Amino acid sequence: MIYLFYGNKSFLIKDEIKKIMKNFDEVNISKYDLENDSINAVIDDSMTLSLFDDKKLVICENANMFTGNSSGASEVMLAYLNNPNPNTTLVLTVNHEKLDERKKITKLIKKIGEVKEFNQDINSFEAVKREFKDYNISASAINLLIDRVGKNPLILKQEIAKLKLYKDNNTITNEDILEVTHKKIDADIFKLIDYIVCNDKEHALELYYEMVKLNEEPIKVIIILANQFRLMYQSKNLLKRGLSEKAIAETLKVHPYRVKLALQNSRKYSSEMLLDYISDLADMDIDIKTGQIDKNLALKLFILKK
């Protein structure tokens, strides 16, 4: 069998591969990445019989010959697809939203293999509900978990696993979530940014004190604030130059979802305002590191003077 999984939801692709891997012994599984390995190594392995079993699994990441990229790999893969080894299950992955439908190689794999797209948005509530299918958990508790740790599927899975280990019965309460899970600081950073920019000093300080209670290091808060303001500034200006969200993410080498959030939040602020915040935070960082000011006091003063 030959599979081609493509899309920007890499975590969903990984989950799909894990399901396939369960049908094979570990010694019969090979993994390749075409950013580091040659296509010839992948094909040679796919054509070779396993020493331990009749069946084997070959996983090949970044199989970009199915996109607009052109390379000699396309011809090598095309030759294999025309005469595949029936004893090998080959899984090819592409971290792109679309395939090049005009290519002969793409048309062929759609005929002989199974092609699946992984671009769909995830309903976090339903995803958490499925993870807790054997547990009693209320809708309010699910929403609390999502609000607390964010919507990143990988982080949600980690926190859910911690909750399952923590409980010796099958009921998950709000108190369990507050006791076990780690509150995601990034979720509150945007609120803090909004309070600062809107000159809402009272709520900004209140939120900062909450972070301190959760043992968040002031330096960490400062760094995250600076990074968020910088990403907002860079994304905003690249968008003005005509770049798409995807192109911005590739240029800045960050996840597309971070760019999407940064652009949404940057609409509220001018480029000049964002630059001022970045400059003030950089000066603050220097003052803290040179011992000119206490880190807790520095962040309070930054909030109060905005």
Residue length of the chain: 306
- Chain centroid to CA 277: how far? 27
The tens place of each residue's pLDDT in the chain, 306 residues long, gives 999 999 877 878 888 999 899 888 888 899 999 888 889 999 999 998 766 667 899 999 999 889 877 667 888 999 999 999 999 999 999 988 889 888 999 999 999 999 999 886 668 888 899 889 889 999 999 999 988 888 777 778 888 988 988 877 889 999 999 888 876 666 567 778 777 767 788 888 888 887 777 667 788 788 878 888 899 999 999 999 999 989 998 999 887 877 888 888 888 788 998 999 899 999 998 999 899 999 888 888 888 876
Which domains are seen in the chain, by residue range?
Answer: 2-117 (3.40.50.300), 124-180 (1.10.8.60), 185-305 (1.20.272.10)
Per-residue tokens: 286: 């220097």
Amino acid letter, residue 10: S
Cross-strand partners of 172: 137
In whole angstroms, what is the distance from residue 305 CA to residue 175 CA? 37
Whose tokens are 């978990």? That residue is 145
Predicted local distance difference test score (pLDDT) of residue 248: 93
Amino acid letter, residue 189: I
Cα separations in angstroms, 217 against 170, 203, 211, 212, 285: 35, 19, 8, 7, 13
Predicted local distance difference test score (pLDDT) of residue 187: 56
The C-alpha angle 151, 152, 154, rounded to 5 degrees, equals 135
Predicted local distance difference test score (pLDDT) of residue 203: 85
Buried b (16+ CB within 10 A) or exposed e, 183-195: ebbeebbeebbbb
Q: What is the pTM of this model?
A: 0.47
Q: CB-based burial of residue 132 (10 Å sphere; 0-12 exposed, 13-18 middle, 19+ buried)?
A: middle
| 254-263, Cβ contacts within 8 angstroms, sequence gap of 24 or more | 256/8, 258/231, 259/231, 259/235, 261/190, 262/228, 262/231, 262/232, 262/235, 262/236, 263/232, 263/235, 263/236, 263/239
Backbone φ and ψ of 225, nearest 5° = -60, -50
C-beta of residue 29 within 8 angstroms of C-beta of residue 59: yes
Residue 247, helix vs strand vs coil = helix
Q: For the packed helices 218-240 and 295-305, what is the interaxial angle rounded to 10 degrees?
A: 40
Reference 29, options 39, 17, 12; nearest CA is 17
Predicted local distance difference test score (pLDDT) of residue 115: 94
